[in-house]
Structure formats: C-alpha cells, structure tokens
Structure 1
Amino acid sequence: MGKAFDWLDEKFHIRAPHKRFLQRRLPAGLSYFYCLGGAAFTSYLILFISGALLSLYYVPSETEAYESILKIQREVHLGWLIRGMHKWSATLLIVFMLCHMLRVFISRAYKAPKELNWIVGCLTLVMVFASGFTGYLLPWDQKSYWATTVGTSMAATIPVAGRHLMYFIRGGMDVGGATLIRFYSFHVLWLPVTMAALLWAHFHMIKRQGIKGGL
C-alpha cells in the first residue's frame, strides 16, 4: 500500500496539499481497539460496492424478485460471491459498530465535547439496523415475507400513530408488491444517503476534535 500511495503521490501530488489530513499526531495509549470504527467503515464500503453490483441484476418486482435472486446465485458470473460478500459485510458492519460503540463507552469518549458525535454514531447504528431490515425482504421468499409481516406489525402497537406508521412502512395494509418497492427504495437510496451524511458528520467531528486515547 505504501508503494501504491507513493506512485499516486508522484502522479497527482496528493501528500502536499493534504498534509494536515494525512499526517496528524495521535495520542498515546491507542491500540487495535481503536481500529474498530475503521473496520466498520471498510465493511460499509464493501456493502456499498457489492450492493451496487447486485442492483444491476436484481428486479424489485413482486413476480420477478425471487427469480432474479436465483439468477444471481446460479447464472451470473461470481454472483454467489458478490451476494455472499454483501450478506457478510452487513453482518460484520453491525458487529464492528457495536464493538466500536462499546469501546467508546468504556473509554468515556462520549462525554463533552464529543456528545454530539456520540449521538450521530447512535443515529448511524439505527440507520444500519433499518437498512438490514429493509434488505431482508428483498429476496422475496417465504421467510423474508413473514418476517417482514411480523416486524412491520409491531409498528401498529404504537399508541395513536401506530396504524398510520405501519401503513406508511408497508405502502398499504398488507405486505405486498408496494412494500417490496418501498423497501427497495429505502434500502438503495434513502438509507444509504442518510448514512453517508451521518458518516461525513462523524468523521468531520473526529478530525476537528481528535481521538481520545487510553482505555
């Protein structure tokens, strides 16, 4: 990686104008536990790239969604691998984020002046869970259908607004084609855009406030 970066720097002169960003002092007491956030972000990038590749073949249709998944698994070159990477990177993203937040909590890095960054991180985790929930329906098989039916029914238990919230999530009273389209829209557009904005805010605050060292 060092040689590759040196080659890029020779061609595009990256190091000089971005010296303050690339070369920063780190506090004492850092360990590999401080790499969990970076591991989560790497999982997010793999998830984004693999999802973009899957979207080339996936058909968000009530009649064709399941068949398109079978085509990806059986006919598309390395489709099974890309889908596997998407599935496992989603799992690892949640695991790394939970471990990262546990490390932040133990080291008390959530306290002032970093309380806003902690809130942004919590909101990002909520978006990740929502992305996982919406993506679970996309294979459009029996397991995902009934899991979504049960999961969205829980929204109806919320007092006053519950029934309206369930209707909004499903796109109707029952889980159907409208739900599939709605979940696909959330999964590939609204949630990724929201997560990207939250991640930018998270990294921007880390850059400005620095890293709290030591456990």
Structure 2
Amino acid sequence: MLTKAYEWLDERLDITPMWRDLADHEVPEHVNPAHHFSAFIYCFGGLTFFIVVIQILSGMFLAMYYVPDIENAWASVDYLQNEIAFGQIVRGMHHWGASVSIVMLFLHTLRVFFTGSYKHPREFNWVIGMLIFFTMLGLGLTGYLLPWDNKAYFATKVTIEIASSVPFLGDSIASFMQGGEIVGAQTLARFFAFHVFFLPALLLGLLGAHFILIRRQGISGPL
C-alpha cells in the first residue's frame, strides 16, 4: 500500500532524486560512536532537535484545550491535566521538555565552541545557532506565563521589571511585553501569540537555514 502510494507520488513529483540527495550522506568517522567514544558529544544537536519536535507535537495537543484569557487560562490547564486522557503526561512532557531542550542546546553550543566548529567557513551558521538559542529562551519565557498561576504571574512581573532596567529602551521593552501598564489580559494574549505563532515560525525558519548550511558545509572536524 505504502509502496504504491510512493510510486504514485514519485511518478508525478519525481521525489526519489530529492530524497536520495538528502538521505545519501556520508557521516564522518569522528562522529561515529562505534569508532570514537568522544563522538557522543556530536549527538547533542540531534538530540536537541528531537526534543524540539516533541515540544511542537505536545504543544499542538495542549493548544487544542488551552484558553488564552485570564478568566479561563488556569481552568483550561486544570481541565487538561485532570480530565483529559493522558493530558497530565503530555503537559509534563511539554513542561520538562522546555528545560531539557535548553540544557541540550547549551551543551551543543559548548561543543561547537570548544571544538572550534564556529570558525571558517561556519561563522554564519554560528550566528544562526545563537539566534536559535535566544529564540528558545524566548519560547521558555513566553510559555511560562500561560498557566496563569501565582508563580507564573509573579515570575513574569520580575522578568518584565528586569527588562525595564535596560538603558534607554527599558521602558519601551517593558511596555511592549506587557501590552499595557500592568501584567494582565493583554500580556497573556501577547505572550500566547508569541509562544504559539511568531517564535515557532522564527524557530522553524532558523532551523531550516541551520540544516541547509550543515548540509552544504558538512559536519565539522574533531578538535
């Protein structure tokens, strides 16, 4: 069944050459754990991407039940966690996955730095990696407020107060994050929009550019 479907698509779209170009890629010996134990440090990037995929899939499930307003946000989270089958598991995966993804991304960044993989000709990919890092931090920040409990509320207030201390632009940044004078309904709506739409779109674009450059330049050599 799957073979016939693939043949039907291949006959019309000629996808086999594209698939072979992506799949037929020789992996350097120094990143093969079977030959070098230190090759495991080259797995951090792939593991980070795997966790990001889990975050996207679990986030899509959570978005089916979440209500982004201050009167129903916590109630929808409570309903999801206690009434929906496997809801507690999926929310737990999304919650802990947010922390694990930052840790894995940090380890991947350290590996790239200490093995000199950011040097010529990969300087541009290093910049993209840094943008991915800050985008992931932004996703963590905006997602933290969404449950709309006391911890999320006051943690967000502290974060905005820290942002307001930035020289010259602090007040503008705080006003933009809050959407007004206080942390309230507009803040929750704004954080939800960034967490679900703007930042994921930016992340997917950056990841696409990151993988294209890796494909063109190859995996960096050992230290």
- Do the two structures share a fold, i.e. TM-score over 0.5? yes
Q: Per the alignment, do residues 39 and 10 of structure 1 end up closer, same or farther by CA in structure 2, a change over 3 Å counting?
A: farther
Would you say 1:139 and 2:139 are equivalent positions? no
Letter in 2 for 1:29: H
TM-aligned CA deviation for residue 180 of structure 1: 0.4
Number of equivalenced pairs: 209
Match of 2:96 in 1: 88
Q: Which runs of 5 or more structure 1 residues have no equivalent in the other structure?
A: 1-6
Match of 2:61 in 1: 53
The within-5 A match list for 1:142-157 is 142-157=150-165
Distance in 1, Cα, partners of 2:100 & 2:165 = 31
TM-aligned CA deviation for residue 8 of structure 1: 5.5
**8 Å contact from structure 1 (residues 65, 139) kept in 2:** yes
Match of 2:185 in 1: 177
Return the structure number with greater relative CO, CA threshold 8 A, min gap 6: 1
Letter in 1 for 2:77: I
Q: Per the alignment, do residues 9 and 96 of structure 1 end up closer, same or farther by CA in structure 2, a change over 3 Å counting?
A: farther
Distance in 1, Cα, partners of 2:166 & 2:103 = 28
**8 Å contact from structure 1 (residues 28, 214) kept in 2:** no
TM-aligned CA deviation for residue 159 of structure 1: 1.8
Would you say 1:116 and 2:124 are equivalent positions? yes
Distance in 1, Cα, partners of 2:170 & 2:196 = 25
Q: Which of 169, 172, 176 is the equivalent residue of 1:168? A: 176
Describe the superposition over 1:120-140 as per-residue Cα deviations: whole angstroms up to 9, x where unpaired: 001101000010010000010
Match of 1:22 in 2: 23
SS of aligned partner of 1:54? helix
Match of 2:43 in 1: 35
Match of 2:36 in 1: none
TM-aligned CA deviation for residue 214 of structure 1: 1.8
When the two structures are superposed, what TM-score results if normalisation uses the length of structure 1?
0.92
Describe the superposition over 1:139-170 as per-residue Cα deviations: whole angstroms up to 9, x where unpaired: 10111100000101111111222111100110
Distance in 1, Cα, partners of 2:114 & 2:169 = 37
Match of 2:212 in 1: 204
TM-aligned CA deviation for residue 92 of structure 1: 1.5
Distance in 1, Cα, partners of 2:20 & 2:62 = 37
Letter in 1 for 2:211: F
Percent of aligned pairs with the same amino acid: 41
Q: Which of 6, 9, 12 is the equivalent residue of 2:6? A: 12
TM-aligned CA deviation for residue 10 of structure 1: 7.2
When the two structures are superposed, what TM-score results if normalisation uses the length of structure 2?
0.89
Distance in 1, Cα, partners of 2:3 & 2:30 = 30
TM-aligned CA deviation for residue 9 of structure 1: 6.3
**Segment drifting more, 120-129 vs 91-100:** 91-100
Distance in 2, Cα, partners of 1:107 & 1:53 = 38
Would you say 1:68 and 2:69 are equivalent positions? no
Q: CA RMSD in A?
A: 1.6
